[in-house]
Chains A and B, each alone.
Chain A
C-alpha cells in the first residue's frame, strides 16, 4: 500500500499556481471564484508534499478492519484503489469568524480588479474550504461601521449567505477596525479563529488595544493585509491630484518626487503592524492582489501547520 499523497516530498517548494489570477478575477460570480480556488487547492493538496493542510485535518491512515467505513476517502480509493481513512481532530469545535473590510479604501485596484474583490474572494475561499471540512464559519463585514454579521454556523445554505454578504459593494467613509473587533470580542465568548481581512491602512494606536483584547480572549487571530501593487510601489507616471477614496480629500502629488517618502512611511507602518502582530501572537499575511489566491491559501495553511499544534495545545 502506498503512502498518502500528502506525505510525499515534504520539503518541496510550494506548487506554482494552477489558476491565472486575472482569469479567476474575471469570473463574475464570487461563489464560482471561491469554488475554483478551493478545487484547485484540493487538487494541489493531494500532490502536495505537506502533511495536514487542513485546519484540523491530521493525516490519512490506511483502512484497517474495524474502522468506521464512513471515514473512508472514496476519492482516494477511486484513484488509488486503496482504502484510506481521513482523520480529523476536533471536527465540531472549530469556529472561524471572517472579519472582512468593505470600506471604500478597498475599492481600489490597478490590475483590473479591486482589493475588495480580492478580499471577498479570499474570504469566500476560506469560508468554502472550511465549510466543506465541516467547520462553522461566520462573517462580520464592516467599513466605518458594522455591516453584516452572520454567526459561525455549519449548516446547509449558510455558505450561500456568507457569499451573498461578501458580494456587496464597498461603502462607508472610512476604515474603522476598532468597532468590529470590539464587537466580535463581545459577541464571541467561545474560543475561535479570527481572520481579519483588510488593508490595515489606518492608524494603529487604537487598533492595538482592540487586538490585545481579541488575542487576550484566547482567539487565534490571523490578519490578511490586502494591498494593491500600486500601493506598494506608488508606481504612477504623471503628477496628478490624488483623491482619497474614503474621505474625498485631494492632494497634488508628483509620484516621482513623493515615492521615496511614501515608501518609507509605508514601510514603517508595515513594520509597526508586523511588530504588533508578533507581540500579540497574531499571524500577519501581506497579500498583493497580483498574487494568486491559491498560493495565498497555501501560505496560510503552511503557516498554520507550523503554528497549529501549539495553538491547539493551548486551546485544550
Chain B
C-alpha cells in the first residue's frame, strides 16, 4: 500500500494519547493544604483499581477510530500494474535515456549508468525496438529505432554499447524535461507501417539531482501509452560544494579595488564545512594566498577575491594579433567554422601566450570539496568599454547656452561603460571610425554637407545619430536621410509647448512607461522646428508637441537610424536638459543604439553565446578561441556561438575588437541533492523508480499516484469504517455508563 500524503500517518500517534493521559493521571498532581502533618505518615502512591484500564474494548475502539482517521487522511492507494503494452502481441519500444550532465562526473556514477544501459540493451528481445540517447544541455541520439531495426539482431546491443563507451559526461546542465518530452514525443510517433501510436517506455538512467530542470513538464500533456522507468543512481559519497559568480551591481567607489565575487554553496548533505578558495592556475594549485572559508552544510557565503593589477590588464582594444582570420577555415553545417590548431602554427604560439596570460590567473579554485567537477570557476577580467560620442556642431564645451555643454555632463560614466564626447567643429577633419567600434553621433542644426554625408554613411552601416533640428538644417537633414528637401519652419511658442502622444512602447521610452515616471508635462518647450514627419519615408513619430507637431521622430537610414529632435534641450529652447528625464533618455538612446553593451558576467556550458551580447555585430566573421586553443569562426548570419561546451575563458575577435568571456558550469548542476521522489509524479509523469534494473519489470508500468488514488478512493471506505467504529464505541460507552452505579458524593 502506498500513500499520497504519508505525513498524515503521524496522526495515528494520537492513539497513544488516551493511554498516556490515563497513565499520567495515576500520579496525582492534586495538592491539599493541611494545617499540620504531625499526625500523618508517608503513604506511597499505590496502583488502585481506578488507575487500571477498566474497559479494554472501549479503548481499542477509540484507538482504532483514530488510526482509521489518520489512515484515511494519508490517502492510501494500491499500486496497480498498468500494462505498458496494451496489446501483448506487440513488441516493446524502449528509449534508454542516459544522463551525461556534469554532475554525472561524480564518483563512479557514469560507469554505473553505462553498465545499466548495456544491461538493458542486452536484455532487449529480437522483436523489440530500442533507442539509446544521451542528454545534457542537448539531447544526442546515439542510436535510434530505425538504425536499431536495420542492424542484425545479434549486433544491435554491441553496436549501441560501443557508441556509449565513447561517451563521457560533459559540462552541460540537466534539462530533464526537454529530454523526457523529446523521448516521449518520439515514442508517441506512429511507427512506420502502423496506424496507431506505438507507445513505449522511457528508461531514464540518471542521478536525478535536485538541479535537474523539470519545469518544462509542468502543464505538458504526457502522451498516452508512454511510461517512464527511472533508475536513480546514487554516488558513493554524498555532499557537494559549488561555486557561482555573484554579480556586483554596486558602483565602484573611489579608490576601491575591483573584486570578483563568488558565492560558495554547500549542499545540506555535505559532511565538510571548511574550504579554501583563491585564484589558481590550471594545474590546480593556488597562485596566491587562499582564503579559508567556513560554510556549514545547507548554507552559502559570498567571498570577494580582489583582482590584482596585472589581472586587470584587459586586452579589449588591443590589435587583434593572435587570430589571423585568413587562415584555413572549415565551415560546418552550423554555419560556424573551426580552424585546427595544427593548421595554424603561427597563431598557435600567439594563442598559447594569450592563453597563458588569461588562464593562469583567471580561474578561481575551491579546495575541500570531494566532488571536484564544480570546484573551478572562470571569470573574465573586469573591463570598461569606451564608447565614442561624436558631436557635430560649432559649439564650445564651455558655452552653457548650447546643447553640447549639457550633453557633456549628461553622458553616463559607470563601472562597465565610459562614454567619451568628441566635438567635431565644422572645419575639423572627419573622424575615422573603425568597423565595430562603439560610437554614436549627435548633430546640431546646420552642419556642412561633408559631415552630413559622413553621417549618412555611418547610419547606412547600422549606427545611430541624433539631429537637433532647426530651419537651417534642412539641407543637412536631406543629406543625412537621403531624401528630398523637407520644409522646416522655426516656431516660437506663444506660451510654451509640451510633449504629448509619447510612444511608451518604443525602447527609448520603455523605461518611462511606468505611470510614476510617465509625466513629461513639466518639460516646457519655448521654440521648436515644425516639419512634416510624412515627408521622411518610414519615419515613426515617438513624441509630439501638444500642438500636434512631431517632437521626436525615428527615421530609418540603411541599417541605422536617425533620431530627429525638433527642439534643442538647452534652456534657451526648452527645459529638457534640466529635467530629470534627460539623462535616462540619453542612457536609453545609447543602449538602444547598440553603442553601449553590457555583456553578461558569464555564460553557461552548452549555452549559445549571442554575438550581439558581446557587442560583436557588424564586424564580419568572429573568431572564437576555445580554452584548449582551438578556434571556431562564427559567421554574422549564425549570430551566436554554440560550441561553448567546456568551461573556461573564451576569446572572441571580430574586426579590431577582442572580447573575453567566461563559460562556466551551470550552478544548478552543483545542486546534487536527490530530486524529491514524488516530483516527477507531481508533474504528471507516469514514473516508476527502480534502484536497479533487476527490479524493473519492462512489461508493466505504473500509473501516476494521484490518478491511481483518485480512482481508487480508498479513503472513503476507511472513513466509513471509522464512522462505524465510532458508532459502536458510542453505543458501548452508553451501555457501560448506564450499568455503572451513580457516583456518590464524598464529603470533604
A241-B39 contact given A108-B33, A235-B747, A252-B44, CB 8 Å threshold:
no
Does A266 have its Cβ within 8 Å of any Cβ on chain B?
A: yes
Does A231 have its Cβ within 8 Å of any Cβ on chain B?
A: yes
Closest 9 CB pairs of A and B: A237-B746, A240-B30, A108-B35, A265-B39, A201-B36, A105-B35, A240-B32, A244-B37, A242-B34
Which of chain A's residues have a CB closer than 8 A to the CB of B28? 238-241, 252
A242-B748 contact given A105-B35, A108-B33, A250-B31, CB 8 Å threshold:
no
Does A228 have its Cβ within 8 Å of any Cβ on chain B?
A: yes
Q: Which residues between 203 and 233 of chain A lie within 8 Å of chain B, taking CB atoms? A: 203, 228, 230-231
Question: In the complex the two chains form, is B45's CB within 8 Å of A252's CB?
Answer: yes
With A and B bound together, what is the CA distance between A247 and B32 in angstroms? Answer: 14
Q: Which residues between 719 and 748 of chain B lie within 8 Å of chain A, taking CB atoms? A: 746-748
Q: Mark B residues whose CB is within 8 Å of A.
A: 28-46, 746-748
Question: In the complex the two chains form, is B35's CB within 8 Å of A228's CB?
Answer: yes
| Minimal Cβ-Cβ distance residue in A for B34 | A242
Question: In the complex the two chains form, is A245's CB within 8 Å of B46's CB?
Answer: no
Does A127 have its Cβ within 8 Å of any Cβ on chain B?
A: no
Does A258 have its Cβ within 8 Å of any Cβ on chain B?
A: yes
Give, as a whole number of angstroms, the nearest-CB distance from B18 to chain A: 21
Give, as a whole number of angstroms, the nearest-CB distance from B722 to chain A: 36
Give, as a whole number of angstroms, the nearest-CB distance from B572 to chain A: 95
With A and B bound together, what is the CA distance between A106 and B36 in angstroms? Answer: 9
| Minimal Cβ-Cβ distance residue in B for A247 | B37
Give 22 pairs: A residue, B residue, CB < 8 Å, sorted on A.
Answer: A110-B748, A199-B35, A201-B36, A235-B747, A237-B748, A239-B45, A240-B32, A241-B31, A242-B33, A245-B35, A246-B35, A251-B42, A251-B43, A252-B28, A252-B42, A252-B45, A254-B45, A257-B43, A258-B40, A261-B41, A265-B39, A269-B39
Total residues of chain A contacting the partner, CB 8 A: 39
Does A299 have its Cβ within 8 Å of any Cβ on chain B?
A: no
Name which of A203, A244, A266 has the most chain B CB atoms within 10 A of its CB: A244
Which of chain A's residues have a CB closer than 8 A to the CB of B747? 235, 237
Question: In the complex the two chains form, is A242's CB within 8 Å of B40's CB?
Answer: yes
Give, as a whole number of angstroms, the nearest-CB distance from A264 to chain B: 9
Does A249 have its Cβ within 8 Å of any Cβ on chain B?
A: yes
Q: Which residues between 143 and 176 of chain A lie within 8 Å of chain B, taking CB atoms? A: none
Does A93 have its Cβ within 8 Å of any Cβ on chain B?
A: no
| Minimal Cβ-Cβ distance residue in A for B32 | A240
Give, as a whole number of angstroms, the nearest-CB distance from B35 to chain A: 4
Does A253 have its Cβ within 8 Å of any Cβ on chain B?
A: yes
Does A115 have its Cβ within 8 Å of any Cβ on chain B?
A: yes
Which of chain B's residues have a CB closer than 8 A to the CB of A247? 37
With A and B bound together, what is the CA distance between A251 and B29 in angstroms? Answer: 12
Question: In the complex the two chains form, is B35's CB within 8 Å of A249's CB?
Answer: no
Question: In the complex the two chains form, is B748's CB within 8 Å of A249's CB?
Answer: no
Does A186 have its Cβ within 8 Å of any Cβ on chain B?
A: no
Which of chain A's residues have a CB closer than 8 A to the CB of B43? 239, 251-254, 257-258
Which of chain B's residues have a CB closer than 8 A to the CB of A266? 39
Given A236-B748, A247-B37, A258-B41, 5 other A-B contacts at CB below 8 A? A231-B35, A239-B28, A242-B32, A251-B42, A252-B28
Which of chain B's residues have a CB closer than 8 A to the CB of A107? 35
With A and B bound together, what is the CA distance between A230 and B747 in angstroms? Answer: 10
Which of chain B's residues have a CB closer than 8 A to the CB of A108? 33-35
Give, as a whole number of angstroms, the nearest-CB distance from A189 to chain B: 34
Which of chain A's residues have a CB closer than 8 A to the CB of B39? 261-262, 265-266, 269
| Minimal Cβ-Cβ distance residue in B for A238 | B30
Contact of B748 among A201, A230, A246, A269 (CB under 8 A): A230
Does A20 have its Cβ within 8 Å of any Cβ on chain B?
A: no
Does A202 have its Cβ within 8 Å of any Cβ on chain B?
A: yes
Question: In the complex the two chains form, is B34's CB within 8 Å of A245's CB?
Answer: yes
Question: In the complex the two chains form, is B31's CB within 8 Å of A202's CB?
Answer: no
Give, as a whole number of angstroms, the nearest-CB distance from B374 to chain A: 64
Which of chain B's residues have a CB closer than 8 A to the CB of A258? 40-41, 43
Question: In the complex the two chains form, is B35's CB within 8 Å of A115's CB?
Answer: yes
Q: Which residues between 54 and 106 of chain A lie within 8 Å of chain B, taking CB atoms? A: 105-106
A254-B35 contact given A237-B748, A239-B28, A262-B40, CB 8 Å threshold:
no
Which of chain A's residues have a CB closer than 8 A to the CB of B44? 252
| Minimal Cβ-Cβ distance residue in B for A115 | B35
Contact of A246 among B31, B32, B36 (CB under 8 A): B36
Give, as a whole number of angstroms, the nearest-CB distance from B259 to chain A: 68
Question: In the complex the two chains form, is B46's CB within 8 Å of A249's CB?
Answer: no
Contact flags (1/0) for A21-54 with B, using CB distance below 8 Å? 0000000000000000000000000000000000
Give, as a whole number of angstroms, the nearest-CB distance from A174 to chain B: 10
